[in-house]
Structure 1
């Protein structure tokens, strides 16, 4: 097994917390739990310093700043703190917006109804431009959905900004992208990746199904066929306890698998597990490995999609999952960071 680089971030993150003993299974390692300073929330990944390793992006709404935890190339983890953005940032994304080969950052700021576009000018250095009067976007994805080589900016709320390769964002909409009334639900984050293996970007969303006496969840896909309207297809259904979804290539076979948080929060019988569903063929999945998540206090608050981030943190070629959770215990809603490393065979 490759030494988990992420654990070297503990020197920066650990503020009175406890590292849990790693629990190995044939295909998954739970890398531990780290208590975070209040207000910090990891919301994305990017190669900020251009070293080829994925760094963690944190937002702090109270201070209106972004903090970056650099991965430990050569055993030297670092931190870039207090990058100013607009008031009350709630979401962050990354991508090469201006086509220069460096990752740029974007935050949505609920307090100022704005986007802060941070264009990378040197490793760890940014020039900020704010886009004002932006509708509410509690989360977003930065992907080249159109296939024109430029990155686009898409939120579950139906608000779309198309990139033009210069760092500028042009307002658009779900309808302009070909969606009809079957567009994604506004209450769940949208994921954008190639789920059917045709190299086009598709929309995927975890949704609630409410009907009859039993409520459940489903994973729905909007397949990009190149036609004017995407094809809507339900990939699979699951229990109501499915709380969050995160795509990633966890077995390094080139296909996008799905990591799902299964969380049962009944008093006295709580459980929280991360389950990986491996893609067997386009749009077909089977349950793979599972690991129980731990926390050194009383109970976890409900986890949602915005709390999951997938990337290859330890450089072994397999995607890993970083999970941000809040716990109720001695200090209510204490934030914590956990990581589950992908296939280690």
Structure 2
């Protein structure tokens, strides 16, 4: 019996020809019409630094002298009509404060200081205050719990296994108004409307309790927890919220780092959840899924799941089928280490969800830009500064230039009186970030953002595990 076998013949000058049988775009070698490993030609476009033959081989770049080269406005240089690196002029983004300018239109603030040709708004400034937040506060969440229009703060504290509710008086000042029992050692939290009544409810991940705790919001007050077990010995570390089975109700994905699994809880219309559906992550015994994020990565209207694996140093993506089941894993290296916190947001403003991961051991943040088809580009690394140990990460536009920025909660095993509490990284708009602005203070785990004093500027909070407080950073930037 004859069988057709796909083949590609590549001939180079007088050197002869090579026949490739069944060349694939996923075989980790450069073959067929590819210009580099698994990219170019008939495969996905290549990234910056890869070999190419024509511009069509390159993604968001041009082919120059056989290499994919970054476009102007994204190449880390001051080129053509730019007034500073990758900003200013008629074609690039506006420049942030302190960058060189010629006219006001070059600046995000709209003000080019004439005598020094520098964009106004140089100072990114915060005023801090601390409040009690329980014994070893771990995870933070921001939401208007009591319905008064002010953003309140939730602190999941580990030692006493409690959820603290800190009410905001509208000026950015907080007072503890409730302490609710969680499962043992809560290390993660999330907020969402589980029963469709228009008010936010709360869920915690209970690390030693191998469970999640759900708190229904009744009239602005959280009810006692309802516990849902995950898996014995799982050390359930974090939660992510989203509708995974397409029924219109929020579901919960809980990561079990010591059992190499994620527990899926499918929500009902009344705010209750079914029993855990446990799905494996990576290789059993060789995977430590610590956190997760949910979004529609391929634009098909169905939510997908991303998982940060601290063991393989990858973000594992599983596309959703819309019925609660997931497609096979695809692992994306982060090029960092200690990958603890993964979130999703649109960092480069192209309408496609990206992945952001805080890497505690390598003191940086990985950004994997989404292509919109469920795949992600190679990670771009931005430092949070040496010896900061970023534990968690959140997004906000702190300098109001229309580009998302990052803030990390910084952990450090050595604890002098004053060390890095958090790092703020201003976004450039292409997945890269400017040098970090490091705020000193006690080491922190969780970080959360919100406009605490209703002035239109995002503020943030950091959970200081070493001195049982939360630091509120009010954004006082011009």
TM-score (norm 2): 0.53
Q: What's the C-alpha RMSD, in Å, of the aligned pairs?
A: 3.8
Aligned in 2, Cα 1:66/1:293: closer, same or farther, shift over 3 Å? Answer: same
Match of 2:237 among 138, 142, 146: 138
Match of 1:6 in 2: none
Number of aligned residue pairs: 300
Give the SS at the match of 1:52: coil
Match of 2:331 in 1: 181
Gaps of 5+ in 1: 1-24, 210-215, 295-299, 328-333
Asked if 1 retains the 8 angstrom alpha-carbon contact of 2:397 and 2:403, the reply is yes
Distance in 1 separating the partners of 2:448 and 2:331: 29
Match of 1:207 in 2: 359
Asked if 1 retains the 8 angstrom alpha-carbon contact of 2:206 and 2:212, the reply is yes
Asked if 2 retains the 8 angstrom alpha-carbon contact of 1:64 and 1:84, the reply is yes
Equivalence map 1:19-168=2 (5 Å):
26-34=123-131, 38-41=135-138, 43-73=140-170, 79-126=176-223, 128-134=225-231, 135-142=234-241, 151=250, 153-154=252-253, 157=257, 159=262, 161=264, 166=269, 167=271, 168=273
Aligned in 2, Cα 1:148/1:257: closer, same or farther, shift over 3 Å? Answer: farther
Give the SS at the match of 2:389: strand
Aligned in 2, Cα 1:207/1:63: closer, same or farther, shift over 3 Å? Answer: closer
Tell me which of the two structures has the higher relative contact order, counting C-alpha pairs closer than 8 angstroms and 6 or more residues apart. Answer: 1
Asked if 2 retains the 8 angstrom alpha-carbon contact of 1:311 and 1:320, the reply is yes
Give the SS at the match of 2:373: coil
Shift of 1:239: 4.5
Please state if 1:338 is matched with 2:471: yes
Question: CA offsets, 1:56-100, max 9 Å, x none?
Answer: 112244443322011104899654323233233232211223333
Distance in 1 separating the partners of 2:187 and 2:405: 27
Q: Which moved more, 1:111-120 or 1:168-177?
A: 168-177
Shift of 1:188: 1.1
Distance in 2 separating the partners of 1:32 and 1:77: 10
Asked if 2 retains the 8 angstrom alpha-carbon contact of 1:251 and 1:343, the reply is no
Distance in 2 separating the partners of 1:279 and 1:31: 22
Give the SS at the match of 2:318: helix
Distance in 1 separating the partners of 2:415 and 2:187: 30
Give the SS at the match of 1:285: coil
Please state if 1:192 is matched with 2:340: no
Question: CA offsets, 1:240-284, max 9 Å, x none?
Answer: 423223322212344320124678887989642644222232313
Equivalence map 1:304-343=2 (5 Å):
306-327=445-466, 334-343=467-476
Distance in 2 separating the partners of 1:82 and 1:267: 28
Match of 2:379 in 1: 233
Gaps of 5+ in 2: 1-121, 282-315, 320-326
Question: CA offsets, 1:12-67, max 9 Å, x none?
Answer: xxxxxxxxxxxxx9331232334555455562222111222211112244443322
Runs of 4+ in 1 over 6 A off after TM superposition: 144-149, 183-186, 262-270
Name the structure with the higher strand share.
Answer: 1
